[in-house]
A and B are shown apart, each in its own frame.
Chain A
Amino acid sequence: MTATAIHARGLGKDFGAIRALGALDLEVREAEFFGLLGPNGAGKTTTVHLLATLLRPTRGTARVAGHDVVREDLETRRRIGLVFQETTLDRDLTVEQNLRFAARLWNLPGRVAGPRIDELLAQFGLRERRRDAVRTLSGGMRRALDIARGLLHEPRVLFLDEPTAGLDPRARRSLWELIQRLRSASGLTVFLTTHYVEEAEPCDRVAVLDRGALAALGTPAELKRAAGVSSLEAVFLARTGRPLAESTAA
């Protein structure tokens, strides 16, 4: 049993002439709640897709949950959950049908999937809506269901790519509370990308990503101390010379 959930060495990705990610060195410990903070276009999603085997690295290597993301892509995918920035649910099917579909894709037998689905629906406050078409759900509920879908097969590492993006403030807050509750879950590593400073703040450790390169890495407290500032917002400014909010505005 390794204590490292994610291990990337010199991981990089080019799209044609565009360098989306330079050469990322990163280690995420098991059961860690890890945040990747950066503005849009910093390379966050590229990083997640590389670690989740959906993109092939241009250079470097990565192991996730003990498996090489290129050579053992199926093994890796079996052990990770991935919640995309945009929903992946079938809007025409019901809440439960979506989860049943996902359960089959992850090869869960019905007798295992049934109780697991009940448990997740209760945990994510969707029990009353299980027979409703996803189309009728609010944005916040859909995201909650997306996350439940990502947890269905009890992954060891859960990737959340901008989980609260596009939600109104109230839905964001209640979804964030749900996400925070995942921390106590037994040994689950959460790898979260965000451009909201307040979501990076409660993370165990934060990596600051800017223009495809790591600008800083540490606990929120360490980062602030090292930069001699009082907020992660100021850390980003000190490390990159640009304000996070401004570069996010686009």
Chain B
Amino acid sequence: MRAIGGIVARELLRFLRQRGRLVSSLARPFVWLVFAGAGFATVFAGAGAIDYRRYLAPGLLGMVVMFGSLLAALSTVTDREAGVLRMVLVAPIRRSTVALGKTLGATLLGTMQAVAVAVLLLSLLQLWPGPAGLLLAFAAIVLSGLALGALGLVLAATMRSIENFAGVMNFVVFPMLFLSGALYPVRRLGPWLRVLVHVNPLAYGVDLLKHALLAEWAGTGYGGEMPPALDVAALLVFAAAGLAVAAALLGREGGVTRTAFRSPA
């Protein structure tokens, strides 16, 4: 338990020391709100039912969690390159503990960022979902953080270096964002894309956030599109599966001694 606390505390310390990361993570959703919000609002079909910027709010919070948690978990790649992962893996703790600590650290960072953004965003948009809605939104943020943190850890465990980062952005982050319902409802997408929506953890997170924040518009077709219980279950399954796979990958021989395979010395 102390080891998990240590891993989480280190993630927090690193995050707080990186001012740039702090500022950009808080500013990013507002940049989207201003530019994407202004642009998409002109083509938004539901303009009669809901102001597009309000419609965007759950998606933006989902995006903050995704960037916060996924990128924090991806820092495991940097840990490996810098050698810090060796210190962790030579400690008397199980690989599954390491995976859990990393995922919880990522969840904490994603949640902190999303909560900070939510305070500003909801005030700015005058979106008041009530105590139950806020509680559900918080749960959605934490669950999304767990699922996306675990996913980020799986990616990190399979990546050799952070140079593949552009690939992750192009093939993971952007498709996940566009197929999450963050920017537009997913129900009008074609059948093939809808299949992808259902294997996208962010889609469940954003959907749950819509149930939480846009309950008022549930009847207009611009609230949540899937049953909330399904969202919760799917996020939990993604988190558990991601953790199991990440622990197995970290436990692989050579996970620590990556150079041992290249040059047995």
Residues of A within 8 A of B (CB): 13, 15, 18, 20, 40-46, 49, 52, 54-56, 74-75, 77-78, 82, 84, 86-93, 97, 100-109, 149
Contacts and interface: CB of A to CB of B under 8 A. Distances in A.
B260 A49 contact: yes
Contacts of B6: 100-101, 103-105
A82 B88 CA distance: 12
Nearest to A83: B90
20 contacts: A15-B260, A43-B264, A45-B257, A45-B260, A54-B89, A55-B253, A74-B92, A77-B91, A84-B83, A87-B83, A88-B87, A89-B83, A91-B82, A92-B14, A93-B13, A101-B87, A104-B5, A105-B3, A109-B2, A149-B87
Contacts of B17: 92-93
Nearest to B254: A55
Contacts of A82: 90
- Name B's interface SS: helix
B187 interface: no
Nearest to A91: B82
User: A-B pairs with the 7 shortest C-beta distances?
Assistant: A104-B6, A20-B264, A105-B91, A78-B92, A88-B87, A77-B92, A88-B83
Contact of B264 (A41, A75, A101, A103): A41
Nearest to B1: A107
Given A49-B257, A87-B83, A101-B6, A106 B264 contact: no
Contacts of A75: 92
B24 interface: no
B10 interface: yes
B41 interface: no
Given A105-B91, A106-B91, 20 more contacts: A15-B261, A41-B263, A42-B265, A46-B260, A54-B90, A56-B253, A74-B92, A74-B93, A84-B90, A86-B83, A89-B83, A89-B84, A91-B82, A92-B18, A100-B6, A104-B2, A104-B5, A107-B2, A107-B92, A109-B2
Contacts of B90: 52, 54, 77, 82, 84, 88
Contacts of B2: 104, 107-109
A122 to B, nearest CB: 22
A237 B264 CA distance: 22
A102 B92 contact: no
Contacts of A45: 257, 260, 265
A40 B264 CA distance: 9
Given A90-B14, A91-B82, A105 B264 contact: no
Given A46-B260, A49-B257, A54-B257, A105 B87 contact: yes
Contacts of B264: 13, 15, 18, 20, 41, 43, 46
Contacts of A20: 260, 264
A55 B91 CA distance: 14
Nearest to B18: A92
B130 to A, nearest CB: 40
Contacts of B260: 15, 20, 45-46, 49, 55
B92 A104 contact: no
Contacts, number: 101
Contacts of B7: 104-105
Contacts of A77: 90-92
B86 interface: yes
Interface in B1-59: 2-3, 5-7, 9-10, 13-14, 17-18
Central interface residue in A43, A54, A56, by most chain B CB within 10 Å: A54
Nearest to B85: A88
B256 interface: yes
B265 A104 contact: no
B94 A84 contact: no
Given A41-B264, A45-B265, A49-B257, A106 B9 contact: no
Nearest to B79: A90
Contact of B92 (A43, A101, A106): A106
B265 to A, nearest CB: 5
Contacts of B18: 92
A75 to B, nearest CB: 8
Nearest to B101: A105
A35 to B, nearest CB: 17
Contacts of A108: 2
Contact of B265 (A41, A89, A92, A107): A41
Given A49-B260, A55-B260, A93 B265 contact: no
